[in-house]
Amino acid sequence: MEFNVEKCKVLRVVRTRTIYDRQYTLGSSHLSVVQSEKDLGVWISDTLNWNIHTDNIVAKAQKMLGLLYRTFKDIDDNSVKRLLYFTW
């Protein structure tokens, strides 16, 4: 099996505060160390908390809500606004 080195990253999850500064390699290429990574749609951080994941979900929802607001700001009917809000 061959791995694409550019897509491979190292995510260190440790219980102690001491971080060992090791260089990981795949073949002759060094792998980059990241603090968070998205895997199967879920953001995983090195501290295993949900802050990064929830921040990204909230930002995505706010972008969509802002788009709906800008697109349909001239509509005066509250039932249509409510329908648009709960549709997405």
The average pLDDT across 7-14 equals 89
Check if the beta carbon of residue 9 is closer than 8 Å to that of residue 32.
yes
The token pair that represents 32 in the structure block = 């980059």
Residue 88 has a pLDDT of 63
> Of all residues in the chain, what percent carry a pLDDT higher than 90?
40
Task: Give buried/exposed letters for 16-33 (b at 16+ CB in 10 A, else e).
Answer: eeeeeeeeeeeeeeeeee
pTM: 0.65
According to DSSP, the residues that pair with 32 across neighbouring strands are 9
Average pLDDT, the chain: 87
Amino acid at 14: V
19-65 pLDDT, tens digit per residue, is 778 889 998 899 999 999 999 999 999 888 899 999 999 999 999 88
